[in-house]
A and B are shown apart, each in its own frame.
Chain A
């Protein structure tokens, strides 16, 4: 079996703010296999964005605090990396696409200038002018030694910031090479008229076009992991379908693994191979998407899937989950879902929350659920 490209172990993140401590993530553990797409789905405030930002260490600390856990990425524990080494991970090995492309693009830069930055960094890396964290192409087998020779690789200092002209000369590439590289990326994301687009500012582009630029930027470094945090939520339905189609095609061309965060069960079904369902900071279910959708093993997953309206008014009321998501600073004792759960028993309030473990009656060994009564979920109506 292929080694996981990403392995998150017991990741717990708190936000410490004036109003108290919010437990945004609690003991989240999962694995991602290379070349697969893992989707994370959940409602607002369930911690899915915190998870996305925690992996490339983008959480602002404080107020965020990583209480415990490990994030193994290609054999390196990202949480143990010193701060100055993080730029070697971010953007190069782990790339990210955010929800609002207008907020991620610099409004004062033309498309060309935004993209060329990524190309320049990659050229520096490829020509050995800037340090590299991952040299080998295949993921490291971290079960043998916890950390590879990252420390040795990293001994070379980061490239000093140089004025544009000098940097270009230093790297030994001309303006034309950079330009043709940028054009190539724009064509990669199916932009029809890249020569014109190059000279436009972000506000002159449509939402779909901006998100394509973001994708081009994220993929330009050929990352082994792409984190997409609600990449299509701000787009219209037909534009969303176009961007999703583009991502599916690129996935096969670029051969990257994607961690796809969304609140939309439909988008996850279209994109993901594996899906994780989050509720109030806990990963309550994880498994192959077909199996999780067809036979969920956690009552929350089941309720979530059933609340998508599929019926007409005269077919009767929509099945809906009563109550609302608990406050992350005052989580209920025991299983966090028990106040809304139709299967709740005394044990669910008494015992600490059930761990995410192999679901009792699941077909696939990969299918895990955090519920004491996972075998009874099927019988719920």
Chain B
């Protein structure tokens, strides 16, 4: 792909687990958490790639890898065709100009003792000397683009509501005119009405400034609106990648189906609906050898447990990558089939914990 701004190739990130004081002292660490386990994906110019998955799926780790907030265990990341996997020092600072991050927690990611102009101006100052007056005027110019009054330069973060703080984070990312912004759960701390305002703002900014986004979220509704393409992650691996409309309307991977079936929809009359996917996300320390979703998958066959399915292109579906052995057979099963009406499910015995 030539228009890719970021190319992630076979990325691994393992975090060591120290099990006991003895092992910690002797620096023995045999077990690792496989947070990201062999992920290859592109982020194209001026597009939004939505990365969805549940907690523990490794989606935030992948986002941090792209922004080089973590170092890779294995694999490469290229930004604008240039390998940034092992950059340090001034080289790393240079890519910070191109890639910025908006963090999940709008309270924790803003220093409560700094004023707005200091918070928003900090990335610019880190890039080189800027005079105070220039920085203030740059911040004042920027604030209206994220929907904040330009006169709030000398306020503190606590004077803003949750949505206001998230706008501040966004302004802080924009001040260095990045090409890519990693949005880590940008709306999960916000109410629906405020969320709609922020999502609209994100889309407008993207159109005006030609930004690319990597949007990490568990909120499928937000991804639907903001993303062009979507990648579904489960236990450190990609399960399915494709255009947002195609994936959400015609999911192929059983996990994508399970995720979509689990979404509570604001339409009454689903009282009889019974969700049929059992089990919880297994630990990332000893991931299962075969398909990682096999233990919860309703379509599991013996091959799934033995052999890991590769992420492969599906014939007939444009731009779709799916990691499932049975993708062709089960592709057309609608997600609604993973919800049983009361009549067909035996309520007590069919739902193990």
Contacts and interface: CB of A to CB of B under 8 A. Distances in A.
Given A191-B353, A192-B353, A318-B200, A270 B193 contact: no
Contacts of A78: none
Contacts of A313: 48, 203, 225-228
Contact of A270 (B195, B200, B271, B352): B271
A238 B353 contact: no
Contacts, number: 148
A310 B196 CA distance: 11
A336 to B, nearest CB: 15
B281 A310 contact: no
A266 B55 contact: no
A81 interface: no
B263 A237 contact: yes
Given A265-B266, A309-B196, A317 B352 contact: no
Interface stretch (A50-58, A163-171, A241-249, A361-369): A241-249
B211 interface: no
A241 B277 contact: yes
A236 B217 CA distance: 11
Interface stretch (A60-68, A97-105, A299-307, A371-379): A299-307
Nearest to A327: B161
Nearest to B340: A245
Interface stretch (A132-140, A146-154, A205-213, A348-356): A205-213
Contact of B351 (A246, A268, A307, A309): A246
A324 B196 contact: no
A252 B272 CA distance: 11
Nearest to A324: B161
B353 A212 contact: yes
Given A237-B259, A266-B263, A208 B280 contact: yes
Contacts of B264: 240-241, 244, 264, 266-267, 269-270
Nearest to A307: B196
A317 B204 CA distance: 9
Q: Which of B275, B277, B347 has the most CB of A within 10 A?
A: B275
Given A208-B280, A266-B265, A309-B199, A44 B162 contact: yes
Contact of B273 (A206, A270, A294, A305): A270
B268 A290 contact: yes
A290 B266 CA distance: 10
Contacts of B269: 290
Interface string B175-207: 000000000000000011111110110011000
B352 to A, nearest CB: 5
A319 interface: yes
A55 to B, nearest CB: 23
Interface in B287-326: none
B221 A248 contact: no
B196 A242 contact: no
Contact of A236 (B54, B195, B244, B266): B54
Contacts of A115: none
Interface residues of B, number: 53
B274 A245 contact: yes
Interface string A249-273: 1001000000000011111111101
Nearest to B55: A236
B275 to A, nearest CB: 4
B270 interface: yes
Nearest to B281: A236
A64 B259 CA distance: 40
Nearest to B265: A266
Contact of B266 (A208, A237, A293): A293
B68 interface: no
Contacts of B329: none
B193 A242 contact: no
A265 B280 CA distance: 24
Given A190-B353, A293-B268, A236 B218 contact: yes
A320 B267 contact: no
B245 interface: yes
B343 to A, nearest CB: 13
Given A190-B353, A249-B351, A319-B196, 20 more contacts: A43-B194, A237-B218, A238-B262, A241-B264, A242-B275, A268-B266, A269-B267, A303-B193, A304-B192, A305-B266, A309-B195, A310-B224, A313-B225, A313-B226, A313-B227, A313-B228, A317-B200, A320-B196, A321-B197, A324-B163
Interface of B: 48, 54-55, 161-163, 191-197, 199-200, 203-204, 218, 220-222, 224-228, 244-245, 258-259, 261-271, 273-275, 277-278, 280-281, 347-348, 351-353
Sorted from nearest, which 3 A-B pairs have the closest CB atoms? A266-B264, A241-B262, A320-B196
